[in-house]
Chains A and B, each alone.
Chain A
């Protein structure tokens, strides 16, 4: 995002030609830019929620005071003369190699009212899952026209896009490996399962036993790992959205479910299917 002026690849670009309602509602987590692409490179920015800004050197506490006055964050190549008099410069972008950020000025107004004279072009960045729904909530009842914007910066690197395909392939490989290891590891219990079955234990009893000492430790470990990830994520590698946590949880839950099914399968194969006399 740094290389393309802090526009997420899933950002919604749109224009409003007629304003029904000027106020921007406070809902969810978002950054909404408003500007005129034909004129200067200053952009009006409204934010809500916990938004991660690009690396910025902030001057004093003015940034914290944005509730009470209009503030601006500007790139180092921007002339301060383009900043309106009623805005106070709160900081500078420090991303050394971002030509877009270095030549932009973000104006954060205190008012939450749109004025179309300042541009009818908007870019909506959000970490929300349902981006269109949130956008409709905050600008309701205004009609928008979506613009299919080109993606610049790292997003426009062909190698970067096909790298994702490589990662997806590897994800499949990991699932195969996981299945394989599970299978081998669970098969080690086949003698125990057979003995328990011939000793007279029911299928459900054997399954619960296997579940307790095979699956539950994995559930506990996964939960601890997820909790640690959530706690340390902001210190290690701050990301734009939180989707990766949700995807990780879904993947881990899926893996645990697969392990449960595999356990059931192994118990079934080495007990009822193999038969044998019960004592």
Chain B
């Protein structure tokens, strides 16, 4: 170890630059790990949609037809069974991601959260039962929508299974990334959703740039959205007619939303029409049509994420190779400059192989020190997840050992060329 200490005292500037290079390199490795992890999620999301078609179900119930349909309690059940059968079907995947603004009392956010802000519309404020509501962007999702779109949270949790069932006026709420700092986990938000009042509780905050893919809008960026569960009913809606008459719009809209979901499948439009037709026949609900079968939107997203991953990998490996080259270059310069020190070691009885080992140990110590700053910044400032930290530490270990072995081999070759022993003998 004394020799290592002496080696660190030689060429202090070069040693400092090697440490700096190693630190930057490990920063780069950390960013690379985060990136690869993120690309995996993004590519994983589009993989769920790759080579598939998206179809949107749309009901025909408008105006008088809607009034007539909902005048019979049994039709509520038919619609409910139709939606249930679609969800349970094993022939295709079915999910609900409904774009529907909601009202929020005493809204703390600014105008960017307003329902139609991006379309250039003014902030919409309305009153129901004396309460003033801000109309804000919201999406109602079921658990399949969250899993197919691989939604990642930065804080809190996703909805539990029982939270999708309509029981009372309590509702969990997950907020988009831009709400971070405006509301926090546990905050209560008074919500109006399909003219029904709910007490919302914030249970999670979504990571930035998370998206939900739908037929109409292939990229719904959730940053400015309030996400709530798409409601299910634990009893046949005909048994809930008292509630239905109390909240007619909520019951109807919720049932229709569930039946107007998205089908994701490799099947062609004719096959899908046949399968949904069979479900319609079994359940007795036939007021629907199927829109979509446009694979271009999915192709754009798949191609975009895959190209991004390839670019990332190619660039990262080229830069990594360059950085390794630089570290070896500095090792070469350092070794050549330290020849006189090595001579002293040899005179004092050290063997050549011992000197090789000490030089590679010096490199190992330099790399380990170089990896510390990125690690501290990663934990303290970025708050990295355990899996990312584990990957980073694994990479640090592999890289440091690899570079130390390289140093050993490299120094041995330099020594052979320099032939120090002959120089000593004169």
Contacts and interface: CB of A to CB of B under 8 A. Distances in A.
Interface in A214-245: none
A118 interface: no
A102 B300 CA distance: 11
Interface stretch (B20-28, B64-72, B88-96, B269-277): B20-28
A98 B224 contact: no
A95 B319 CA distance: 30
B38 A158 contact: yes
A173 B299 contact: no
Given A37-B120, A99-B296, A121-B120, A152 B42 contact: no
B13 interface: yes
A179 B330 CA distance: 12
Contacts of A145: 120
Contacts of B319: 166, 170
Interface in B275-311: 294, 296-297, 299-300, 303-305, 308-309, 311
Interface string A126-166: 00000000000000000001011111111011111111011
A150 B118 contact: yes
B236 to A, nearest CB: 39
B32 A166 contact: yes
A145 B294 CA distance: 35
**Residue among A145, A157, A162, A179 with the most chain B CB within 10 A?**
A157
Interface in A1-37: 3, 15, 37
A82 interface: no
A180 interface: yes
B322 to A, nearest CB: 8
Contacts of A38: 119
A150 B223 contact: yes
Contacts of A100: 300
Given A99-B218, A99-B296, A169 B308 contact: no
Using C-beta atoms within 8 Å of the partner chain, give the interface range for chain B.
35 or more
Contacts of A120: 120
B289 to A, nearest CB: 19
B197 to A, nearest CB: 29
B330 A180 contact: yes
Nearest to A157: B308
Contacts of A177: 21, 326
Given A153-B304, A176-B20, A184-B333, A147 B118 contact: yes
Given A148-B112, A150-B224, A180-B330, A162 B34 contact: yes
Contacts of B25: 173
A81 interface: no
Given A15-B120, A150-B224, A169 B42 contact: no
Contact of B42 (A77, A150, A159, A183): A159
B120 A173 contact: no
B120 A163 contact: no
B117 interface: yes
B223 A173 contact: no
Given A147-B118, A158-B209, A165 B21 contact: no
A85 interface: no
B151 interface: no
Nearest to B298: A99
A99 B296 CA distance: 6
B31 A3 contact: no
Q: Is the interface of A mostly helix, strand, loop or mixed?
A: helix
Contacts of B117: 147-148
**Residue among A147, A153, A156, A176 with the most chain B CB within 10 A?**
A156
A97 interface: yes
B176 to A, nearest CB: 11
A61 interface: no
Nearest to A147: B120
Nearest to A168: B31
B316 interface: yes
A53 interface: no
A152 B219 contact: yes
Contact of A163 (B218, B219, B315): B315
B317 interface: no
B119 A172 contact: no
Contacts of A158: 38, 42, 207-209
B354 interface: no
A154 B310 CA distance: 13
Contacts of A157: 42, 209, 304-305, 308
B391 interface: no
Contacts of A148: 112, 117
B193 to A, nearest CB: 23
B121 to A, nearest CB: 9
B31 A166 contact: yes
Contacts of B28: 166, 169-170, 173
A173 B32 CA distance: 15
Contact of B24 (A152, A159, A162, A169): A169
B258 interface: no
Contacts of A167: 315
B355 interface: no
B247 interface: no
Contacts of B224: 150
22 contacts: A38-B119, A97-B304, A99-B294, A99-B297, A121-B119, A147-B118, A149-B118, A150-B224, A154-B308, A158-B42, A159-B308, A159-B309, A159-B312, A163-B31, A163-B35, A166-B315, A166-B319, A169-B27, A170-B319, A173-B21, A173-B24, A173-B326
A-B complex: 7 closest residue pairs judged by Cβ atoms: A166-B31, A15-B120, A159-B39, A173-B24, A99-B297, A159-B38, A37-B119
Given A150-B223, A157-B304, A159-B308, 17 more contacts: A3-B304, A98-B300, A99-B218, A120-B120, A121-B120, A147-B117, A148-B117, A153-B219, A154-B304, A157-B305, A162-B35, A163-B311, A165-B31, A166-B315, A169-B31, A170-B28, A173-B28
Interface of B: 13-14, 17, 20-21, 24-25, 27-28, 31-32, 34-36, 38-39, 42, 112, 117-120, 207-209, 211, 218-219, 221, 223-224, 294, 296-297, 299-300, 303-305, 308-309, 311-312, 315-316, 319, 323, 326, 330, 333
Interface of A: 3, 15, 37-38, 77, 97-100, 102, 120-121, 145, 147-154, 156-163, 165-167, 169-170, 172-173, 176-177, 179-180, 183-184
